[in-house]
Amino acid sequence: MSPKGRQQYLEVKPGDYDELNRRIHLFGDSSEGGDAESMLFLRLFEDSDGKTIAASHSARPFADGGAPSKVDTYVYRLESGRWLDVTDAVLPPEVPRSSWFRFNSPGDSIPCGTYKSCPGRDGRGEAYEFGEASGVIFWRDGRFHYKPKG
């Protein structure tokens, strides 16, 4: 999203914008504002040192047909006014980074799972959509923990 789009988003707050629970669901096809080209799930947490943690997943594979990738999911820690990438240190190793993560979900449990392949909307090629949740992750003791479904 461009800087102008971010400003417009903050003024209009389209999509699911939940300040109280510190979570956002932004989608690029919203006619309400912003110029995002994807979908974004974002949620803020605090670690044991009181530092802000921002967990985000961009559901671009659903939007553009690109294959699921680890570059769609990042977790940052705010340290001395700078955002540091702590993704590998805080995501559970048993959950592939190319999974989907619904960081905008209410409550303590964040559903996650693998994308499933489907025909592209234009009839050409392959696209991806959310598959069934394999479990949930939850924030505790400065990192995410995984609980499989069932």
Q: Give tens-digit pLDDT for 13-49.
A: 555 667 777 777 766 655 555 555 567 788 998 888 8
| 43 to 25, 70, 105: CA distances (angstroms) | 9, 18, 9
Distance CA 4, CA 114 (A): 33
Q: What is the pTM of this model?
A: 0.80
Beta strands 143-148 and 126-140 are: antiparallel
Count Cβ atoms below 10 Å from residue 15 Cβ, excluding itself.
Answer: 20
Q: Give tens-digit pLDDT for 51-94.
A: 999 999 887 655 566 788 898 899 999 999 999 999 999 999 99
Phi, psi (degrees; rounded to nearest 5) at 31: -90, 5
71 neighbors 82 (Cβ within 8 angstroms)? no
Distance CA 41, CA 26 (A): 7
| 61 to 31, 40, 68, 110: CA distances (angstroms) | 21, 12, 6, 19
| Residue ranges of domains in the chain | 40-148
